[in-house]
Structure 1
């Protein structure tokens, strides 16, 4: 399945999210402020931070009592012990703790730095946690956009992850609704007639990364529309993007 020209459109003017806000309503406010309208076939990418704020997934660091292990690790690497404690609480498995960084597996199954606990783009003194169920968050946004505006884009909730063996961070999909997150080419043939045996493309991750190019990290733009990409509709979830333990050579 090919595609033609693809546009990536930032949605500016989205108000700062407060606990209990509808992300869909915030996005529609941004669309109006930007002079944009949704179209059939759009993909909407929203940042995890926007969703976490609206879902009340913010924690005041002053309310956190660090454990002895958090205190010791923070003292060794000059980190905030309260953030370390939050990372430990949000983790189901610690993959690696070294040089002030913690690579952990979250209850969602994501393996990422600091279990997704983030101090950026939030009020100083607070930390943002990942949404409890990002797939459900994406589905809720999609449903409410349809109810409020008759617009039913595929929705991706994105977050920034590091990558083993490569410098730099990229946005990936942690929540998906309305599209299949993987495109399976196995059994098909390339232009030379060779059968593809292992090629499965993480389409949702590629879309999340593309959207970040216009959203940025310091511009206060937490959403973007990807228009023109031909995706496979379906009831996919971001959990499909997680490598099963039995196939993970590095676990």
Structure 2
């Protein structure tokens, strides 16, 4: 692993509209800001701009709440139309309690409100963004286009904010990726004392997403893309962020 990293936030990404080419905007911003894209860079992209570019924006006023949404609204205190949107994007409701609705999304991510969010969209309560239909495919498209535009072989991570069970506060995690193994697996290796490691399998993509969030921010920073340099990773194909999702059968707490 690297001894030192550089994380550079792009400050000139414009407000994203449906149909925008994220890769093209990243390359243009790098040129404008004098930042080189190099082989082995990891480009972290906020889920919100990917969703906007892909038109994953919804006016919940257009929805008619189902009976299930109405019942969950009574339990959670949330808008029944918002809950209907959550149900549309979910495989299963895991937990409903006052102020909280935890589901498993269509992607297999266990999170609050199926990842549906009102922040940094329009400022209106009724307009929300949905997660990309397939974040791994979204990351792959961005990575391939950057290769076409620059000739550089990079990895792409799509990040989103995530509330951690049994821990206060949120972090950013990888919900989509391309060109990078989501794990750094130490199992089978020996530690400094010669002990063979049996469990340690680091969620590398999540750690990259969290590190990038330190420069990207969550509110008025206007930095939806960060470039991580110096990781010395091997660019690899055929990996997905879905591997980071734990199967329900393996949950220790239910």
TM-score in terms of structure 1 length: 0.95
Within 5 Å, give how 1:73-88 maps onto structure 2: 73-75=72-74, 77-88=76-87
Which shifted more, 181-190 or 146-155? 146-155
Within 5 Å, give how 1:1-251 maps onto structure 2: 2-75=1-74, 77-123=76-122, 124=124, 125-218=126-219, 219-235=221-237, 236-251=239-254
Coordinate RMSD, CA, aligned? 1.5
CA-CA distance at 1:78 after TM superposition: 4.0
User: Tell me, what secondary structure is at the counterpart of 2:169?
Assistant: strand
- Unpaired runs of 5+ residues, structure 1, are none
**CA shift digits 1:217-242 (9 cap, x unpaired):** 11121110000012232121101111
CA-CA distance at 1:77 after TM superposition: 4.5
**CA shift digits 1:173-203 (9 cap, x unpaired):** 0111011111111110011111101110000
Measured in 1, the distance between the counterparts of 2:77 and 2:39 equals 50
TM-score in terms of structure 2 length: 0.94
Measured in 2, the distance between the counterparts of 1:102 and 1:76 equals 9
User: Tell me, what secondary structure is at the counterpart of 2:168?
Assistant: strand
Which shifted more, 185-194 or 235-244? 235-244
Contact 2:153-2:235 at 8 Å conserved across structures: no
**CA shift digits 1:153-177 (9 cap, x unpaired):** 1000001110010000000001110
Measured in 1, the distance between the counterparts of 2:197 and 2:212 equals 28
CA-CA distance at 1:68 after TM superposition: 3.2
Measured in 1, the distance between the counterparts of 2:128 and 2:206 equals 24
Which shifted more, 30-39 or 81-90? 30-39
Which shifted more, 171-180 or 64-73? 64-73
Measured in 2, the distance between the counterparts of 1:100 and 1:52 equals 25
- Unpaired runs of 5+ residues, structure 2, are none
Which shifted more, 185-194 or 72-81? 72-81
Measured in 2, the distance between the counterparts of 1:47 and 1:228 equals 20
Measured in 2, the distance between the counterparts of 1:232 and 1:41 equals 7
- The count of corresponding residues between Structure 1 and Structure 2 is 250
CA-CA distance at 1:100 after TM superposition: 2.0
Contact 2:121-2:129 at 8 Å conserved across structures: yes
Measured in 1, the distance between the counterparts of 2:189 and 2:72 equals 50
**CA shift digits 1:133-160 (9 cap, x unpaired):** 1000000000001112223310000011
